[in-house]
Amino acid sequence: MVTARADRQPWGAIIAFLLPAFTVYTGLTAYPVLRTFWNSFHKVLPRSEEFLGLANYTALAQDDIFWRAVLNTFTWACISPLVEVGIALLLALALYARIPGARFFRVAWFTPVLMSYVVVGIVWAWMYNYDWGAVNALLRFLGLGNFVQAWIGDPKIALPSLIFVTSWMWAGFNMVVLLAALHSLPSEVIEAAELDNCGWGAKLWHIIIPLVKPTLLNLLVLSFIGKMKIFDLVWITTQGGPLWSTETVSTYVYKRAFEWTSFDLGYPSTIAAVWFVFVLAAVLTLTWLFRQRDKLEY
């Protein structure tokens, strides 16, 4: 128990410990956030700044590219976690069942996570190449040549194709975490279930999942947050095309800030500000939801 006598708190030391970190935080995190909000109310040009009131916000409400980007990003952030964590759970269970070479598999499945999104983007752009990419080559090899597609060139399937890539990347990470969680479960419970002659399905649904639920929910939230931020992968593969089918909020902000024929930084700041509020709201909702479910269980 740490002594809590206020007059005995070594304030000098406390401040000394906290000062460097909080200086960095204030200067390079807190201040920029405030400044972005300030920008959002102005037209920010290289030589001048003009106060616009809510003009940027009203323009944003009517910007259908923005809303398309929001839809895309939200879809990504909702579907990807379910896929990643779902696959990860199955994989973790497979390893937990103590198949030979578990150690090797654990290491091998984790490798996609280590690669930069730039690397992943380039490799999968090659994989999705219509003429010689691995995906189409495999389909043709299996005699399924009719299913060959322009995976990232067709607006209807470009986004799912990219979601597939992030799932490929992060399933390994989620698997490793879940495996650790499984190993930390009290083995008596699992053994008891075995004794009760539960079928595999029942065992999974009624015992294992509830026990690892906190970890599952944690991973879902983590994955959700990660997908709301996604930029690099889209930038390297499709830059938001074709026809805005893979446009995410981050690629749109980047384009408006650095690529449109305008130097105005105010409007992209508005997009960032609104998105910031969205993300916070979504995360808070999720954590609240999950906590409710947690409570119901116990």
Partner 1 sequence: MISRAFLFVVVTLYTVFAAGPFVWVATMSVRTTTEISLDHYAWPQIWHWEKFPIAWFKSNYQVYFQNSLVVVVAAVIVLTVIGSMAAHCLARYRFRANRLLYFIIFSAIIFPPQITIISMFQILVQYGLYNSLPGLTLVYIAIQLPLTVYILESFFARIPADLFDAARMDGYSEWEIFWKVSLPIALPAISTTIILNFILLWNEFLYAVVLITDEAKRTLPLGIQRFIGDTMYDVGMIATGLMIAIIPVVLIYAFFSEKLIQGMTAGAVK
Partner 2 sequence: MRILKIVFSLLLLAFASSAMAQVKLTFWSHWAAEKIKRDYVEDAIRRFEAANPGVKIEAQWYEKTALYASLKTALRAGTAPDIFYAEPDQFEYMENGLLLDLSPVNWAAVEPWAKEIWSYKGKPYGMPLEAATVELYYNKKTLADLGVKVPSNLQLDAAGMTDLVKRARAKNITPMSIGVGDRPYPGAYLAHEALLKKLGVKEYDDLLKGKLSWSDTRVTDTLNVVRGWTAAGLLPTTFTTLKLGESHLYFHTNPGAATMLIGSWYPSRAFNPVDQGGQPKDFPLGIMKFPSIPGAVCNECRTLSVGGSYVANAATKHPKEAIAFLNSFANPAAAARWLENVLVQTGIKADYSKVGGPHAGYFKELGATSEGAKFYFGQPIQVMQGKPKEVFTQVFNNAFPAGTISVEDAVKQMNAAYK
- Considering only residues 2 through 31, tell me which ones interact with partner 1, judged by CB under 8 A: 2-4, 6, 9-10, 12-14, 16-18, 20-22, 24-25, 27-31
- Whose Cβ is closer to partner 1: residue 159's or residue 271's? 271
Specify burial of residue 220 (Cβ count, 10 A radius: 0-12, 13-18, 19+).
Answer: buried
Stretch that binds partner 1, among 52-60, 144-152, 153-161, 276-284 (CB under 8 A): 276-284
Binding site residues, partner 2, CB under 8 A: 45-47, 65, 125, 129-131, 150, 152-156, 241-244, 258-263
Out of 76, 128, 246, 268, name the contact with partner 1 by CB under 8 A. Answer: 268
We find the least distance from the C-beta atom of residue 139 to partner 2, in angstroms, to be: 14
254 contributes a contact to partner 1 by CB under 8 A? yes
Please give the Cα distance from 270 to 56 (Å, whole number): 6
The secondary structure element, H or E, covering residue 43 is: strand 42-44
**Which option in partner 1, partner 2, none does residue 53 bind, with CB closer than 5 to 8 A by kind?**
none
**Which option in partner 2, partner 1, none does residue 45 bind, with CB closer than 5 to 8 A by kind?**
partner 2
- Whose Cβ is closer to partner 2: residue 129's or residue 218's? 129
The distance of Cα 292 from the centroid of its chain, to the nearest Å, equals: 23
The secondary structure element, H or E, covering residue 19 is: helix 11-25
CB 277 within 8 Å of CB 60 = no
Contact string 74-113 vs partner 1 (x = CB under 8 A): -----------------x--xx-x-xx----xxxxxxxx-
- Whose Cβ is closer to partner 1: residue 172's or residue 240's? 172
CB 282 within 8 Å of CB 224 = yes
Please give the Cα distance from 287 to 298 (Å, whole number): 17
66 contributes a contact to partner 1 by CB under 8 A? no
202 contributes a contact to partner 1 by CB under 8 A? no
**Which option in partner 1, partner 2, none does residue 267 bind, with CB closer than 5 to 8 A by kind?**
none
CB 43 within 8 Å of CB 264 = yes
171 contributes a contact to partner 1 by CB under 8 A? yes
Please list the alpha-helical segments (H only) found in 62-142: 64-96, 102-114, 117-127, 134-141
Q: What is the DSSP string of 257-278?
A: HHTSS----HHHHHHHHHHHHH
- Residue type at 3? T
We find the least distance from the C-beta atom of residue 37 to partner 2, in angstroms, to be: 20
39 contributes a contact to partner 1 by CB under 8 A? yes
- Whose Cβ is closer to partner 2: residue 37's or residue 254's? 254
CB 72 within 8 Å of CB 161 = no
We find the least distance from the C-beta atom of residue 254 to partner 1, in angstroms, to be: 8
CA nearest neighbour of 277 among 97, 60, 126: 60
We find the least distance from the C-beta atom of residue 180 to partner 1, in angstroms, to be: 4
Please give the Cα distance from 236 to 239 (Å, whole number): 6
Residues in 175-194 at the binding interface with partner 1, rule: CB under 8 A: 176-177, 180-181, 184
CB 175 within 8 Å of CB 91 = yes
We find the least distance from the C-beta atom of residue 117 to partner 2, in angstroms, to be: 18
168 contributes a contact to partner 1 by CB under 8 A? yes
- Whose Cβ is closer to partner 2: residue 66's or residue 170's? 66
